[in-house]
Structure 1
């Protein structure tokens, strides 16, 4: 019998944890300060000392851009990337101020990374002193189809970005070799560009800084027919390398995460592993939230199967960032992501929501899409408008900000589609419930309870799974009555819940193609 994990044990376990404000607050704010200082530092480009593009810096910039995201989601990896980029800047950066700023931030990231790793080891030791070795029966391995699809897409984007860089750099080399050097006179200086009058034409060039240019000054220009560039600031075609590195890094991260999960499962199934008894409850997204046996939440993770709230054995590496297998009386739940801190209180067991017992007298024409709430429809339209604005704006930008604009636009597209579309469609024998990635076919015969959670309709199944619909412009009591009527009229036969790819996935894929086209054109 494994020992229950109590609030006292939790205090010992959490005493070793790194406070979230260290990496989500201090390091993130430090990154913002250092990044802002670096992009606003004065730059001087001259024909004698031109600002030459650095392909390796563009590759390393992927680590710089990924650091703030990973500090929030994967702090150990985020700290490692921050430390690595800081070391790169210390070795290669010519500006003393930028080198010092990134060096100090990289040192802080390295120290926090060591702290996080040691904290995880200490938590593992605490659990080891409390746990009892148990053997877990083999379970069906979870499939990561969605992650595999995303990894393949990222791999394709990375390869396309590499092809674009090779094409652009080859074209640039050909023009540079065939070009003739001419002198030009600056006729206008804009905020980020200068206009130069040549012998036969007038050209406008984007520049890093306009401080070194004055109206009337002479600047050397390389000209090859319609192609031209400043000698002091050659054209930078290395941005696709940043896109390539981010895409390939994401593909590798997703694949390595799957392998790490499978190795963790095999370690647990191979022999006795440390285990403690915890209370496990499902949140609104179906994730397993781990509580002490006296009801205090402390961590969460997504799992492979739906489950009923119950006491289970947490087997394996019970630490922040560890992989934990949950073993219940009748099933084994495999984690699909590592354990993360979670202290949000969930609804109480004795308040499952009001049971809706009303039955509709008439059934509307089927299939019946559950109409989304008007505020969600309006929000969805604004999100789509924001995505369109950001995508069009990205075509006029240059550098890493293009990737930021497209990422934000993709997030707006996903959120707009999910909020503005019906969350479910009622059929005569089942309900099609949509998530952003999949569409679930929920037979009415498998539904055992129809409840309300505020203004949301909840369908509960005999297996313990819950499907919560988004708020609708139709009152939840009326939706419950309609669902009850369809449930009573549905044929009574044994059917399981099935799912298929759907939801917003086609929209995300279409936007990924559009974003790839924007990156290719810019």
Structure 2
């Protein structure tokens, strides 16, 4: 492998690091998935098909034979449909598992519904989920191809040792802990809401088993109640979730147990508990997955055998780092971008670790609107528009974790930058 013509002054350990040349970088860029695997197409297809399926779904009428009880499978189906667009875009690992689950639920619950229009819309939902699953798998396969190409182009070395040789250790093991903690807390809240909902359903079923069945005639209705007259002449007001489903002068069954009463066709509704479970569970699951992935990738960067390559690097005015091939001195073709923070300034035992530990949980950051994100001691170390040689430690791919070692303005000073967000391919 051809070496860079001007080795950077970060110590003798880096003198043999090969350069990431344009030919190798072009092969790496060409390993990206095809245009059809872009998350945009999967998201648009899913949103359009789900909207059509909801609009064409036949309305169910509450009756004693088919009571309108809490629909737990429907809650899972709705939650997966809401979370799937984000998972298609940002978490293909989670989409790879969730998409087949949602497809099975749709096929089992919705396809038997009457009407060709509704059935066709739900088939379109399953097709959109299939497209999203195939796109997620293609993106993950492209990541593996890109990692393999970088390993072939670079020299294998222990990433933690390479960066530690400059006087810093990236991350100190805290990467991903905040989203893991918040995600676990939200998931616990979701589980608690489900438990409370199931407890309410159980109490309602026990009370209904003890209640007396009374037939009554509907004499009037409001937005939330029915006015009925029993056969013995009593006039009652009963809560109703769907009063419009009951025609005047129709007969309904009322369950009574002392002061407690409800319609036999409308068991306890756990909608508020289900809504709380979805509101906490969806972001909780996403954060937990994001944190676990970030922690695993950062641990591999600190302890695993990772490649090292010489590249060119620059900062834009918003503090985002852009990486170029080592021989692209004109900076014409950026390979990828990422948000970095320094973890050391200087070398040896006086190297000061910081930055990443304070902001080590910006796992899904796309735009950090700060002019001095990549700073050393509160200042931009190099001109934002200028290219700077650096050693890239780690394999770049969409969502990956990297470290960069470069000179920091003095003959012996060095800066180690670590990503605080996933790599983004332009």
Q: 1:121 maps to which residue?
A: 144
| Deviation (angstroms), 1:237 | 0.8
Q: Hey, what's the Cα distance between the residues in 2 that align with 1:234 and 1:188?
A: 21
Q: Hey, what's the Cα distance between the residues in 1 that align with 2:281 and 2:402?
A: 28
| Deviation (angstroms), 1:11 | 4.2
1:4 aligns with 2:23: no
Q: 2:182 maps to which residue?
A: 150
| Deviation (angstroms), 1:325 | 2.7
Q: Kindly report which structure 2 residues correspond to 1:20-99, keeping only aligned pairs within 5 A, or say none.
A: 22-40=37-55, 41-45=57-61, 46-93=63-110, 94-95=112-113, 97=119, 99=122
Q: 2:306 maps to which residue?
A: 273
Q: Hey, what's the Cα distance between the residues in 2 that align with 1:73 and 1:86?
A: 20
Q: Hey, what's the Cα distance between the residues in 2 that align with 1:187 and 1:112?
A: 56
1:16 aligns with 2:31: yes
Q: 1:461 maps to which residue?
A: none
Q: 1:317 to 1:243 in 2, by over 3 A?
A: farther
1:200 aligns with 2:235: yes
Report Cα offsets for 1:108-164 as digits up to 9, x if no partner: 222222212222222223333433334423314253564355335424533542453
Q: Say which SS state the counterpart of residue 252 (structure 2) adopts.
A: strand
Q: State the TM-score, normalized to the length of structure 2.
A: 0.66
Report Cα offsets for 1:358-416 as digits up to 9, x if no partner: xxxxxxxxxxxxxxxxxxxxxxxxxxxxxxxxxxxxxxxxxxxxxxxxxxxxxxxxxxx
Q: Say which SS state the counterpart of residue 313 (structure 1) adopts.
A: strand
Report if the CA contact (8 A) 1:87-1:106 is conserved: no
Tell me which of the two structures has the higher relative contact order, counting C-alpha pairs closer than 8 angstroms and 6 or more residues apart: 2
1:141 aligns with 2:171: yes
Q: 2:337 maps to which residue?
A: 300
| Deviation (angstroms), 1:320 | 1.4
Q: 1:168 to 1:301 in 2, by over 3 A?
A: farther
Q: Hey, what's the Cα distance between the residues in 1 that align with 2:97 and 2:152?
A: 30
Q: 1:110 maps to which residue?
A: 133
Q: 1:240 maps to which residue?
A: 273
The alignment covers a number of residue pairs equal to 338
1:339 aligns with 2:365: no
Q: Hey, what's the Cα distance between the residues in 1 that align with 2:97 and 2:423?
A: 19
Report if the CA contact (8 A) 2:156-2:306 is conserved: yes
Q: 1:81 to 1:92 in 2, by over 3 A?
A: same
Q: Hey, what's the Cα distance between the residues in 1 that align with 2:255 and 2:108?
A: 32
Report if the CA contact (8 A) 2:31-2:145 is conserved: yes
Q: 1:326 to 1:116 in 2, by over 3 A?
A: same
Which piece of structure 1 moves more, 28-37 or 298-307? 298-307
Report Cα offsets for 1:189-237 as digits up to 9, x if no partner: 78x8674424432335223x95x54333223233445544433343331
Q: 1:268 to 1:156 in 2, by over 3 A?
A: closer
Q: Structure 1 stretches of 5 or more lacking a match?
A: 344-522
Q: Structure 2 stretches of 5 or more lacking a match?
A: 1-16, 343-373, 376-380, 383-387, 408-413
Q: Hey, what's the Cα distance between the residues in 2 that align with 1:5 and 1:181?
A: 81
Q: State the TM-score, normalized to the length of structure 1.
A: 0.55
Q: Kindly report which structure 2 residues correspond to 1:85-484, keeping only aligned pairs within 5 A, or say none.
A: 85-93=102-110, 94-95=112-113, 97=119, 99-135=122-158, 136-138=162-164, 139-142=169-172, 143-144=174-175, 146-147=178-179, 150-151=182-183, 153-155=185-187, 157-187=189-219, 195-198=226-229, 199-207=234-242, 210=244, 213-225=246-258, 227-237=260-270, 240-241=273-274, 243-244=276-277, 247-248=280-281, 250-251=283-284, 253-270=286-303, 272-283=305-316, 286-292=319-325, 293=328, 294-295=330-331, 296-305=333-342, 306-307=374-375, 308=381, 310-329=388-407, 330-341=414-425, 343=426
| Deviation (angstroms), 1:85 | 0.9
Q: Hey, what's the Cα distance between the residues in 2 that align with 1:16 and 1:3?
A: 19
Report if the CA contact (8 A) 2:401-2:423 is conserved: yes
